[in-house]
């Protein structure tokens, strides 16, 4: 099993619609709106690279308003989540 971060650029004015679609997705472990070059960072877990491909190309990129994605497969977890 693996995990990946997917960064997405979103069309201006489509944020809330996209966030609603993201909330419905069972594949997503965590999603956050961000400032900067990318508007959304999503963390997903997958069993195979084919499963990851299916999510990216079959789900995320099909949401109207998602303009571009970049995927970073996690090679090694360095820390656990930090409690605040």
Write the pLDDT tens digit of every residue in 11-52.
Answer: 999 999 999 999 998 889 999 999 999 999 999 999 999 999
Is position 9 within any domain? yes
Is position 78 within any domain? no
Is position 18 within any domain? yes
**Structure letter (DSSP) for residue 6:** E
Is position 12 within any domain? yes
Is position 80 within any domain? no
**What's the structural domain count of the chain?**
1
Sheet holding 66-73, edge to edge: 28-33, 40-46, 2-10, 66-73
Contacts of residue 20, defined as CB under 8 A and 6 or more positions apart, other chains included, come to: none
What average pLDDT does the chain have? 93
CATH number of the domain within which 25 lies: 3.30.70.920
Determine the structural domain holding residue 67 and report its residue range: 2-73
pTM attached to this predicted model? 0.87
């Amino acid at each position: 099993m693996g995990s990946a971060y997917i960064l997405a650029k979103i069309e201006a004015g489509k944020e809330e619609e996209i966030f609603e679609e993201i909330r419905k997705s069972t594949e997503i472990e965590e999603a956050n709106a961000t400032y900067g070059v990318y508007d959304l960072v999503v963390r997903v877990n997958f069993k195979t690279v084919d499963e990851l491909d299916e999510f990216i190309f079959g789900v995320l990129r099909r949401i109207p308003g998602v303009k571009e994605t970049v995927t970073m497969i996690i090679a090694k977890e360095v820390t656990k989540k930090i409690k605040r």
